[in-house]
Amino acid sequence: MSSISFIIKKYSNQVCRKRGNILFVAVARASDGVLVASYLPQKGDYNVDKYHNAVQEVLSAPDFQYKVTPGSRYRLVGDVNAFNFTTDVQQRVYIVITMADYPERLVFPMINDLIPKFRQEFGEKALTCQQGHLNRKVESLFSKLVDEYDDPASKDKIASVQAKVDDVKITMSKNIDGMLANMEKTENIETDTQRLQDQARLFDKQASTLKRREQWKNWKLSLIIGSIILIILIILIVTLAN
């Protein structure tokens, strides 16, 4: 992207540093070069025309449509500022111009935050509207993102706190999962214990029934044997009496 890089260096050398790291936020159409929405964080920044011209020349660069692929990240760094952008499959170009020393690790997360919010609210309009038509409508959205990302130190602190919060969430989630697993194990143990108790009661019942049956068999056998002995004795007595 040599020709695009040359354009950025040309405009970067002409832009004077002002307070703030994020200088310009915009969304354009790659198909016709129309800048449908733009936001200037520093009101009255006299470099605004240079930002617009840089965007127009980048979009109209002869190698733009051949070198730029949807979803890829592009960062063109000059002496003073950096031109950061990506595109989507519908040829919307999301642009953030920052100071050259603004970290790349923050600018693209900012763009990634911008894309779904912009597409949800203004995505379809951006495909057909005229130059600058969405400027006022996107001001609130762009302003919030700039406020959040402009100070790298502050953003890093927020990210650090968020990371700690996420770690706590993960730890709590694991603890809860462990508790639920233990509860499930306890419930399973209770279920198994109840099943064993039911089986034991059934076994006792069956054993008692079997015992009664065996006792009754023994009684019947004893009765039969006793009857036979009694009959034999009667026969012997009768025989001896005669």
Residue 7: per-residue pLDDT: 56
Average pLDDT score, the chain:
82
pLDDT digits (tens, 9 = 90+) for 87-105: 999 999 999 999 999 999 9
> For residues 146-184, b (16+ Cβ closer than 10 Å) or e, as one string?
beebbebeebeeeeeeeeeeeeeeeeeeeeeeeeeeeee
The region of weakest confidence among 48-62, 80-94, 107-121, 228-242 is 228-242
The domain locations on the chain are 2-150, 151-217
Under CATH, what is the fold of the domain 2-150?
Beta-Lactamase (3.30.450)
Q: Whole-model pTM?
A: 0.60
CA dihedral 68, 72, 77, 80 (to 10 degrees): 110
Give the DSSP letter of residue 130: P
- Rounded to an integer, what is the distance from CA 155 to the centroid of its chain? 21
pLDDT digits (tens, 9 = 90+) for 141-200: 999 999 999 998 887 665 454 444 445 455 566 677 767 676 677 677 778 778 888 887
